[in-house]
């Protein structure tokens, strides 16, 4: 039995947990867009204008705040003009990054914006820096966001959309250190300034421009970007009309350094589980590393940090296209998500957005589809149970004592994490027990407000390999939980092994 004993002052506010930390990512990759979201208007699967209704409803139920599109690596070979106008007239292209398949561009700008409208999600569009031009990106923004008689506004109306859309988030390329052009930090930083200059704000639409930052812990890339807008000690120059306001980074979790053999999504040993958690915990070190670099040049945190690709990445399921990145999703993946969210919450002063990769049928997905059937993954349930943290005020947990840790050949890591937040007269306590074998008890002295336990739920299963299928869709699903209780002014939660739980409180 491991324990954590802490104190939380509910009348002391920490950073606000930006709802966009619960963002999503949909790339033209495998069956994410086609079959996942888009089935076409003539499909027997129930749809709205070609977008499948069941997936949309599932994602609305977890309050998806934003959706990133069209990539990913695909973004830097995507030319948006090929994806507008009558579908039967749109030219095709080869998706060289993902499966070397022919893309017919039947899902393009109008379809994506309609998807965001159905979801109630803010669009996050990634523009093409790798193979595109400044003019092409500028025209796309005009097409999307400008009214009146501008050339791209007229073209949009010809294609059936009278009013412009609101597009709050704009990515200036993707992974330009790799698939987006194999650039150096210095090369990209110059291009980011050039492209951002022509990412115009039209008709009251204010873009939050996100520079493509580093892979994992490449702090030199982050520093090079920050040096271009500031000097040591700041303040940073983040003009709203001709500069970028945030930078991104990517980090994936797997169980091996061998990129060709990352491990199975469902068949893994205890040693591979521990290796996964050691690597998952690196997100804490990496976020804090980028924050330290940014703080040196921008102590007021005017520039946002965005983790717009994160999640687990395993070997594809046997018999599937290796370029489609289709993998199952177990309780292990859900625990990785719980850990990531606690790290994101702790760094909410600087970290303003995160996008899990990816939403449907690819990597650590929320939803898996099989024809007309759909399965919600264990990771989906973490998003659902944590929804109350979105735009809530965090309350730091002051740990008085803890013995919750794993030490072994793979390394060491803490096995208990938690977040406490509040909004609208209620509080949410989320807890992750990474201990694969042992239960845990968390004791939190909650001070500063009168509180009562309203509801508790737990996500658990007999093994960390448990996962949902169309035959057994609820093998891993939230259940009412009787392991949370009040002892005086202390919330006591008894967690089963390898579990994620939430406790909802009423405040007065």
Residues marked active site are found at 175, 309
Residue-level length of the chain: 508
Strands (E), 272-345: 304-312
Residue whose C-alpha is closest to residue 122's, from 169, 80, 171: 169
- CA angle in degrees (0–180, nearest 5) for 332-275-98: 70
Residue 120's CB: how many other CB atoms inside 10 A?
A: 12
* Structural tokens at position 94: 């080869």
The whole-angstrom distance between residue 82's C-alpha and the CA centroid of its chain comes to 27
Residue whose C-alpha is closest to residue 192's, from 209, 207, 167: 209
- Sheet arrangement for strand 426-433: 393-394, 416-423, 426-433, 499-507, 451-459, 479-480
Residue whose C-alpha is closest to residue 339's, from 407, 391, 287: 287
* Structural tokens at position 194: 């050039």
Residue 277 is inside which H or E element, if any? helix 270-280
* Structural tokens at position 138: 């500028």
The whole-angstrom distance between residue 482's C-alpha and the CA centroid of its chain comes to 30
* Structural tokens at position 274: 């521990």
How far is residue 485's CA from residue 503's CA, in Å, rounded to a whole number? 10
Place of tokens 């259940």: 479
How far is residue 291's CA from residue 184's CA, in Å, rounded to a whole number? 21
Residue whose C-alpha is closest to residue 443's, from 501, 413, 484, 497: 484
């Amino acid at each position: 039995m491991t324990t954590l004993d802490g104190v939380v002052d509910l009348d002391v506010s920490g950073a606000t947990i930006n709802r966009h930390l619960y963002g999503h990512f949909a790339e033209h990759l495998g069956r994410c867009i086609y079959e996942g979201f888009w089935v076409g208007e003539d499909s027997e699967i129930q749809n709205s204008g070609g977008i499948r209704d069941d997936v949309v409803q599932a994602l609305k139920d977890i309050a998806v705040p934003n959706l990133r599109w069209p990539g990913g690596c695909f973004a830097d070979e995507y030319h948006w003009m090929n994806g507008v106008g009558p579908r039967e007239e749109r030219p095709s292209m080869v998706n060289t990054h993902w499966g070397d398949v022919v893309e017919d561009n039947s899902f393009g700008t109008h379809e994506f914006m309609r998807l965001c409208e159905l979801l109630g999600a803010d669009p996050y569009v990634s523009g093409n820096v790798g193979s595109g031009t400044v003019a092409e990106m500028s025209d796309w923004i005009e097409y999307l966001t400008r009214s009146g008689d501008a050339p791209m506004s007229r073209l949009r109306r010809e294609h059936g959309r009278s009013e412009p859309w609101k597009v709050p988030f704009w990515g200036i390329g993707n992974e330009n250190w790799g698939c987006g052009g194999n650039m150096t930090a210095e090369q990209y930083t110059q291009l980011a300034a050039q492209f951002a200059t022509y990412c115009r704000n039209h008709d009251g639409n204010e873009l939050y421009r996100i520079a493509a930052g580093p892979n994992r812990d490449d702090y030199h890339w982050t520093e090079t970007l920050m040096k271009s807008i500031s000097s040591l000690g700041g303040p940073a120059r983040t003009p709203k009309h001709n500069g970028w306001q945030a930078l991104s980074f990517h980090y994936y979790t797997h169980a091996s350094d061998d990129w060709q053999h990352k491990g199975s999504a469902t068949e893994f040993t205890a040693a591979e589980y521990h290796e996964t958690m050691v690597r998952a915990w690196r997100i804490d070190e990496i976020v804090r590393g980028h924050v330290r670099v940014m703080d040196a040049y921008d102590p007021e945190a005017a520039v946002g940090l965005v983790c717009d690709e994160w999640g687990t990445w395993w070997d594809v399921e046997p018999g599937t296209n290796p370029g489609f990145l289709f993998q199952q999703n177990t309780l292990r993946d859900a625990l990785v998500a719980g850990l990531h969210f606690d790290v994101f919450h702790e760094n909410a002063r600087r970290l303003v957005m995160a996008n899990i990769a990816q939403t449907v049928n690819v990597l650590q997905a929320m939803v898996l589809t099989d024809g007309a059937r759909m399965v919600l993954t264990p990771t989906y349930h973490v998003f659902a149970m944590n929804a109350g943290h979105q735009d809530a005020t965090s309350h730091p947990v002051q740990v008085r004592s803890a013995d919750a840790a794993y030490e072994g050949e793979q390394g060491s890591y803490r096995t208990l994490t938690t977040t406490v937040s509040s909004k609208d007269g209620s509080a949410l306590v989320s807890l992750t027990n990474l201990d694969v074998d042992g239960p845990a008890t968390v004791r939190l002295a909650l001070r500063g407000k009168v509180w009562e336990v309203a509801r508790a739920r737990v996500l658990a299963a007999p093994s960390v390999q448990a996962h949902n299928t169309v035959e057994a869709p609820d093998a891993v699903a939230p259940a009412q939980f009787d392991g949370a209780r009040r002892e005086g002014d202390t919330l006591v939660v008894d967690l089963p092994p390898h579990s994620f739980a939430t406790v909802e409180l009423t405040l007065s």
